[in-house]
Structure 1
C-alpha cells in the first residue's frame, strides 16, 4: 500500500491534491496519511497476532499529537525517553500503562513521575540506573516494573552514529552484567522484572542483525 501517488501528473496524498494543500496552507508543510499509518501499524500487529505482544511506537520519531492520536486509537503502546514525551502521549489520548521508558538520561524526578503515571516498564540501561529506580520505588512505596537492556554486541551494518548494539556504544549492559542485574532485581521487593530489552540501531534494512541479536539474548 502507498497512500502517495501521482494522478494526472499531480502528487496526491490519498485522494487529496498536494498542490491544493500547498495553496491552502503554504509551503513547506508536513503531510501525513492516516490510512498509511493505520495500515503500517496493522501490518506489525498482524505479524505478532499469535503471540502476546505490545507494539510500542518510538515517540522520538514523530511526536506530532495528531499522529500519536491515530496510534493511540489503534491501541498502540509507546516508547518514550522523557516525561515530556510521556505527557504528549497522554495528551494525545494514549495510555501511560502502555508506555515503556527508555533512554540513558533518566533522572530521579522523571523516574518518580513515570511511576506516578503507572507506566508499563522502564528499560534499564545500567546498574546505577537500576539502583536509582529501586530507591525511588522505596521512597514512594511502589513496585517499579523494569526490563534490563542488553547490549548484544551485534553489528547492525547501519551508520556508525546511529548504531546502538555494539560493545563500544553507550547503551545497555553486556550479557555477563545483564544476568547478575536480572538476579539482583528479581530479589528486590520494590522491583518487578518484566523481561529483557535490546536495541541495535536505526535504519536497518536487513533482518539478519535482528535475528543474531535475538539469538544472543535468548542465550541468557
Structure 2
C-alpha cells in the first residue's frame, strides 16, 4: 500500500485507500500522512502518530500532534510545544509556547518571552537574534519582523539579504515577493527594489508572470512583472 495514496475521509475521522476505509477504526480526528509514512491521530486516549499499518508509533499521548516535516513533528503536552522524531523520541529538551513545522531543515519557534527565531533539526538556534515574528524559510529566505516594527528578509545565517525594510512582507516566489509600505502593496525583487511605482490595496504573488491585484477602489486587475495592466477582472 502506497502511503501517498491514503486519503483522509471527508469528516476527518478515518483513512481511505481506493475509496474504502482502512485500519478498521475511526478516530476523533486524523490528519494526512507525511513522509516517513506517519500520520497524526486523536482518539479517547489522546493524540499520537500511527504508521502505514495503522499501528501506534509510540505509547506517549499528547493533547495534539501535527504532521511530520523533515522527519520532525510538532506535539503539545501540558500546553508546552516541542518536536519529536520519526521514532517518537524528543529531539531536544527545550519547551516552547509554539513550534512550527520544519521547512528546509529549519523551524520557526516562539519562546516563553514571545520571541521568534529559527532552530535546526537538533533544536539549536541557527542565529542569535530574536524577532517579534519569524515565518518559514523558502529557498533559504524567511520573513521576520524586527523590534522596530518593520519586516525584512533574512538568509539561513540570520543576515538581512538587503538593506530594505517594509510595513509588511511576503516570502519570495519565483524571485519576487509582495511587500507593503505606507502607501500600499507592491512587488519587489531580491534586492528589495520595487518592480513598479504603483501601490495597491492587496496583491498576490506572480503566477507564471502575472499577478492579481486589487486597486484602492476595489477593482481587480491582472498585472505583469513590470506593473503593466493586462486585463481587468469584471
TM-score calculated relative to the size of structure 2? 0.31
Larger strand proportion, structure 1 or 2? 2
Larger helix proportion, structure 1 or 2? 1
Quick check: which has more Rg, 1 or 2?
A: 2
